[in-house]
Structure 1
Amino acid sequence: MNFYGINYLQAQSSLNDYLKYIVIFSTLLVTIVVFSLYMRHRLQTKYRDLTIIAFLFLLFMLGVQYSEYTNSESAHSQSSQMVNFVNVLSKQKNVSVNDIYANSFQLVDGVIIKIKDSYYKVNLSADQNTYILQETWLTNPNITLLKNKDK
């Protein structure tokens, strides 16, 4: 079971997002180049066809990116709720934020929190404004503490 530290929770941007942006901008560049070649050589329809294909691919990638953007905004919002929860919990328990680990990126009912050597299950209210920490024990003590995103 993996438990994530505060630094790991805060660093949720991934390489996949950058890769998608590179693909979109390179497709846009190819579309512009092929369209300029088509405008220069109007008699050769292969450039027109390549422009249409690149443009349709660009529209497809933008649609996929928008869909994933909305999903990523939701996940980012939920992970920022977890970071905020860890900060609040740190103040209430008088421990450092570096001593608190969570087994989920998102603040959901039933998430397991590790505070120093104790484990707690978080029971959230329906509006997620109140919570109950219930001490719990793990049946499998093999856990991995992930403190930083690059490790």
Structure 2
Amino acid sequence: MNFYSYEYLMSNQDNSRLIKIIVFGFLVAVIGALFFMYLRNRFEIKYKDLGIIFVTTLLLLLAMQYNDYSNLLTTRKQTGQITGTIKETANRLGVKPNQVSVNSTTQTDGLLVDTPKGFFRIDFNSDGSSFVLEKVQLQNPKIKIVRRQS
């Protein structure tokens, strides 16, 4: 069973954004160069056709970027909820938040928490605004704590 540390949840998990920005910038530069070549040689259709291909690719990437952006907003919201829960749990137990790890990256009912004081289960009320913290005993605790990558 994987448990995620507070630092792991707080760190930025999306390393592919830089690669997407580089590809996006490259496509914009290629489209600009093709547009310039087309304006210089208006009678050569190949630059116009290549430009249309690259503009279509750019539009496809823009649509994927928007989808990734909306997913990123949802993930940030869920991560904010779970880190708030970790802070509140640490406060109730009198430990530091970086000593607490949870078994999910999203706020779910029946969330398991690993602390220096033992294992706890969190049960949320119907609207998720408050929770009950209950000490539990795991039968076979084969736990791997996932920490932030440096």
TM superposition score normalised by structure 2: 0.91
Shift of 1:117: 5.1
Give the paired residue count: 150
RMSD: 1.5
Deviations 1:68-92 (A, max 9, x none): 1111100111101111111111111
Q: Once superposed, which parts of structure 1, at least 4 consecutive aligned residues long, lie more than 4 Å away? A: none
Letter paired with 2:47: Y
CA distance in 1, matches of 2:56, 2:82: 39
Identity over the aligned pairs, expressed in percent?
Answer: 27
Aligned residue number for residue 43 of structure 2: 43
- The answer for unaligned runs of 5 or more in structure 1 is none
- How far the C-alpha of 1:8 sits from its partner, in A, is 0.8
Match of 1:134 in 2: 134
- Over 3 Å counting, the alpha-carbon distance change for 1:139 and 1:34 in structure 2 is farther
CA contact (8 A) 1:3 1:103 kept: yes
Distance in 1, matches of 2:140 and 2:20, equals: 38
User: Does the 8 Å CA contact 1:7/1:149 hold for their aligned counterparts?
Assistant: no
Aligned to 1:53: 53
Instruction: Flag the 1:53–1:139 CA change in 2: closer, same or farther, 3 A.
Output: farther
1:107-128 CA distance string (max 9 Å, x none): 1222211111522222112221
Asked if 2 retains the 8 angstrom alpha-carbon contact of 1:6 and 1:101, the reply is yes
Q: TM-score, normalised by structure 1?
A: 0.91
3-state SS in 2 of match to 1:119: strand
Q: Which piece of structure 1 moves more, 120-129 or 56-65?
A: 120-129
